[in-house]
Every structure is written in C-alpha cells, then in structure tokens.
Structure 1
Amino acid sequence: MTATEPATPCTLDVTSAETYAGWFSTLADPTRVRLLHTVATSPTGSARVGDLATQLGISQSTCSHHVRRLAEVGFLTVDKVGTSSVVSVNPSCCTGLPHAADVVMGTLTDLPYCPTNLPTDVTTRAMTDNDLPTVRGIYAEGIATRNATFETTAPTIDVLADKWLSGHRWVAEIDGSVVGWAAVAPVSERACYAGVAETSVYVTESARGRGVGKTLLHRQVTEADAGGLWTLQTSIFPENRASIALHHSAGFQTLAVRSRIAQLDGVWRDTVLLERRRSMS
C-alpha cells in the first residue's frame, strides 16, 4: 500500500480571497470590462459619463450604474465638474488587480530572478564621489516629474555621499556618459536589519526607453544577493506603471498599496510597497 502525501494547505487567506472575489465578480459583466478599458486607455486618463455612454453604445443611466459599481470596489473614482460626472481610473487598481490575478493563479510562487535581454550599449560600474553632481542632476529630473519620490528638492552632494550603503551604489553609462544610477539605503541602524535595504533607480530623461533601468536593476539585485542583503524594498507611485513592471521582472512582489500615505505638493498620494527576498536555500 502506497502512502499518500498530505495535501498542501491553501496559502491564500480568507480575507484576501473575499476581496479578490469582489473585484472579479464586479468585472463579470462585459460592459463593465469595456467601460474600465475605455477609461484606462483614454488619452486624458478620464472621461465624462455622457461620453462613455456614447462610446459604449449604452444609455447614460446604464453607464452611470456600471460606473457606480466599479467605483464601489475602487476601480474608478468619480468627480463632479459642474453638472457632469468625470470618471478616472484609481491608480491603485493598476497594481492591485494584476497582483490579485498573480496571487490567485500562483504565478508569484516562482519569482523571476532579475531582468534579462540587457542592452549591449549600456554598461554599469561602481558610483564614485566624482559622479555625485551628475547623479544629483538625474535625481532632480526624477523629482520634477512628481511621480518618482516625495522629495521636492534634490539633497546636497554631501547628503547623497552619506545616504547609501558602501558597495551598493552604481551608475549606468552610454558612450562614456552617466545616464542613470541605482543605490540602496539602510532601513535601520539596528544590527538585526543589516541585510534589509531600500532601493532607488533613476534614469535621465534623454535615455529613458533604452533599457538603462533594466540594466541598473540587474546590477543592483545581483550585487545585493552576492553582498549579503536578504531583503530589498521600495515604494513606487501607482502612476509609475513602468517602474512597477520593471521591479516585478526583477523578483519584487507587491506587498500592499498604501492609500494616502503622505502628501506631495498638498495632495495625498498612494504608494505601492514592493519587496524582493533573496533565496535562503
């Protein structure tokens, strides 16, 4: 008689399952799926209910009903502008919904190690103090987008020199010019958190879309693994979908969407908390 192996217990907790079920059931109606897609792909990122009704070929009352259902679970936000209702996608939805699908389907149990297919014209090397003026300038570009950090002004070069862990700061070059940087900062001075660090990756505007961020992140995570860092974490604005996707490709998992975590320019903003754990095997 062959003994059977015990069944593996379900790792998806009840509360999360109930939340995800509510999301998926709301999207069980094809009109709502088309409505959400229409708003998400709008050039302005928003649309009036009357215009949505026309685009979808449904009555305005029916459109309002579906908008209300999508707003109830947090997929959409609705603002009154005069006599019209203007509908926008909740940025947290862009992260939370794909993450829910990954969790349910188990795709996060086998995380990618780091980005692949790196560009051949981008090289990385250790950052030196001589690079700091250029690094600060690239950081200032990111700050100006208002979708990269809660910082509103770039720190001084002296502050930057002391900010990051020694041996874990890098620059990327194209044709000998620095076009991006990556670094990790300690999250605590306590010895028990010596292997936990917060990551940053920035690319100059003129070099975006050339794989610089991918190359920097590859260097960052491989050096972190080799250098004894067991946990990397970062917080990204939900609007920065490209950065979130890039970090997912390097094995970062979305842990939470922190709603209204802080204000930037007087506006409450959400952040997505991501974490990458080094294999302990």
Structure 2
Amino acid sequence: MSSKSNIYFGSCSWKYDSWKGLVYPHFDKINYLEEYAKQYRSVEVDQWFWALFAPGSPPALPKLKDIEEYNAATPRDFKFTIKAPNSVSLTHHYPRYTGGKMAENEYFLSPELWGKFIDSLGALKEKTGAVILQFEYLNKQKMPAQSIFLKKLEDFFTAIPRDVPVAVETRNPYYLNKEFFTFLHDQELIPVFLQGYYMPPVFPVIEKFRNLLPKSMIIRLHGPDRQGMEEKTNGVWNKIIAPKDEELQNLARLLGVLSEAGTEVYVNVNNHYEGSAPITIQKIETLMGAGA
C-alpha cells in the first residue's frame, strides 16, 4: 500500500481467482472485495458501465444488494472510481443491437438518467472518488466537431447536481488539446488519462497541460493489446507477461512530482496492462520508494 496519502492505487475490478496468493488467501469461500480492501485503498468499478442494449429497452441500473454488499465490505475511507453507465455516454446504440444500422441513443447525456444512476449508488456516494464518463472514439458521423461535443457536455453539467466528483475520459486523441482541458478546468471536472489502446502516452500530455489540470486526476493503465493479452494469459492474471518497465519508471517519477504538489491521483491498473495488476502496482510502489 502506497505511503503517499494522495496517491490511490487500485485495479480495474477485483474478482480474479488467479490472484489467490497475491491478494487473496487460498480459501474456497472468501469475500473478494473485503480481502482486496485490506491491501488497496481504491478500486475501479466497471460492472455498471454495460447498461445500454437494444433501442427501446430500459437502461440497467445498479442493484441495491450490490451497493449494500460493496459498502459493507470496505472501510469508510475506501474509494470507488465508478464508470458511469454507457447509456449516458454513448451517442448511438451498438450496431449489434440495431442490425448494423446507426441508431441514436435517446439517453445520451440525459440528466434524468444520470440522476437515477447517482441516486442508485446510495451509501457508496460517500465512498465515491469519482464517477467516470467514458466516451468512445467519436467519428464525424457520431460527433461532427469537438466544439459540438463540448457544448453538449456544458449543457449536461449545467443541468445536473454535482453531488459526486465527476471525471471525463475521451477516446479521441485529437480532443486532448487546450480547449478540452480548459473546459474540464472551468467545469471543475477530473481528467482521465488512458495509457493504452490508440491514445498517446499520458506523460507528455500531462506535462503539456499541467497548468490547466486540477488537484485531482485519474490515470488508467490498460496497455495496447487487450485481445493479445487474453490469448497469452488464458485469463490467468498472476504474472507479468508484457513488462513495461520504462513506462513504469516514467510513471513513478510523475507520481512523485504530483504527490509533492498535493495532487490527488487515482492509478487504476488493468490486468491487461502487463499481465497482473497487483504485481504492476507493487512494481510502481517499489520504484516510487526508490525515487525512480
């Protein structure tokens, strides 16, 4: 566990049998989240992201029993970074639900649906580090211009209560510009930096826009090849398959600077990044302790 109180290390989800011996004891019946929370101070929740289905179908919302279970399993100072339902963040339905046709999502940036989602979090609202609005890559058909996207976001954030911290992640590399970070700054939104897929490395982006960044941010380590990692690991996430030591050295140095500046940083590590999120977190903490 990091000694830097403003740096929160956590994984993307937590229920992995192959973490037994790394995070969990070798028991058959264990409360995974309760054991996880003994080692880490935060976790990313993506189970409520997949909420939009065929046009006309009601979006899914968190179930009360899950909220109560997660709240009971974690201490009061534990933090969840929660991906908002894609029913709010998708401009269009997935083609697999529409026979390949483009169909607008009637719930896109719906203040009403957002309110229902936030209300459904119940007791977890007190433990929410941020709710992440993750926007997929938006081509010109889905979003003609970045200016239109930012105006839609502005209207949305004007209409909703801000009773939990909100973070924004874009999958459009060319959106990572002064206009975007100025908007986030002015709206008091948390930027999400994604290391992986087809996005540019997070380090130069953070450095370039440091003067516009707030005192809180999220860094998500995902890596470039999710499918390839699935094939290499067969879903067993207990060792490093694709080491990224140079990236981690850069990250450790960056986190040291941000920590000294008093910036709150959530570092959400995916198994697909190197092959095992717990081992990756351990590597970063070791590098930070060594002053990398």
TM-score, structure 1 length as denominator?
A: 0.28
Higher normalized strand content (fraction of residues): 1
- Structure ID, larger Rg: 1
- Ranked by relative contact order (alpha carbons within 8 Å, sequence separation 6 or more), the top structure is 2
TM-score when scaled to structure 2?
0.27
